[in-house]
Amino acid sequence: MVDIDAELHERLLACEEQYTLHFAEQVRLTRDPQMLRSLIAEVQTVAQAAGQRGYAAVVQLAQRQAQHYEHELQLVEAALHEAGPKGQAIARMTRRASLLMHCYTRHFSGQPRPTRDVGLLSEMVQALRGLHQQLAPLGQKQADIALSFAQRWEQELQHIEQSRAQGEQRAQAASLAGAANTLLQTYSACCLARRRLAVRPALLGRLAGEMQRLVGAMEALRRDGLSLPHHAESLSALHKQLADWHQEYGQVIQAQRSASLADRSAALTA
C-alpha cells in the first residue's frame, strides 16, 4: 500500500502547477516573491497535516518542494535587490513586450493575411506603443525594439486591409468571410466556452466591433452587385451572430456587476 494521502498530494501538485506556470523559465526579476511565499506556506501546511496523519511520503515530498521554493525565493530577492526599482520596471515591461511578440506568433504567423484579426493586432500595437513610452525615459534599447515592432505591425494592418480589397468581388467576399470566421473561432474559444463571470467584456466588445465592420464591407459588396447565394446566407447568419453578441455583452456586464468579488475570482481561476 502506498503511504500517501490523495487530497494532500493533490494540493502539492497544485502548488507545483502554479510554480511551473508563473516561475519556471521566467526571468527572476519578473517573478513575484509574495506568490512564492504563499506557495511555501501552503506546502508547509501540507507537510504539517501529512505529519499529523502519519503520511511520511507526503511529508518528504512537501519538504523537498518547500526547500526548492525557499531557495528560489532567495535568488529572486537577491536579483530584485541588485536590480533596484529601475531594473525591476525594465524587466517587467520587457517581459510584457515579449509576451506580445509571442502572441503575434501564435495568432498571425502562417495565417492567411486576409483572415487575420485586425482588432486584436490594433490592440497589440497600442500596447507596444504604451510600453515604448514607459521605457523611453529609461534610455533602454528595449524601447527602440518595442517601437520598431509597433511600426512593423502597423504596416501589417495596412497590408491586411489591402489584401481584403484585392481581386474581384468573389475573392473579396471570400477574404471577408475568412476574417469573420476567425472572429467566430475566437468567440467560441474565449467567450462561449467560459462562464459569463470569466468573459472579458472588452474582448467581446472588440469582437462585436470588428464583426460589425466586416458585415458592413460584405453589405457594400452586395450593394455593388454581388449576388452569390452563399454570400447572402453568410450575411444573414453574421447579422444574427452580431445581434447575439450585443445581447451577450449586456448579459456579461450584468452578471459581473451583480457577482461578488470572490465569485468573479473563482470563475477566473476555474
pTM (predicted TM-score): 0.71
* pLDDT at 137 exceeding the cut of 60: yes
What's the CA gap between 91 and 178, in Å, rounded?
38
Average confidence (pLDDT) over 47-70: 91
* pLDDT at 27 exceeding the cut of 80: no
* pLDDT at 254 exceeding the cut of 50: yes
Q: Minimum mean pLDDT among 94-103, 133-142, 181-190, 193-202: which range?
A: 133-142
pLDDT bracket for residue 139 (50, 70, 90): low
Burial profile 208-225: b = 16 or more Cβ within 10 angstroms, e = fewer: bebbeebbebbeebeeee
Residues with Cβ within 8 Å of 232's Cβ and at least 6 positions away in sequence, in order, are 222
pLDDT score at 1: 35
| Percent residues over pLDDT 70 in the chain | 97
3-state secondary structure 58-84: HHHHHHHHHHHHHHHHHHHHHHHHHHH
- Cell 518547500 sits at which residue? 66
CA 83 to chain centre: 28
What's the CA gap between 156 and 121, in Å, rounded?
9
More confident residue, 181 or 259: 181
pLDDT score at 31: 83
Per-residue pLDDT tens over the stretch 101-120: 999 999 998 899 999 999 99
What's the CA gap between 258 and 251, in Å, rounded?
11
pLDDT score at 24: 77
**Rounded CA Rg of the chain:** 25
Nearest Cα residue to 174 out of 208, 237, 221, 121? 221
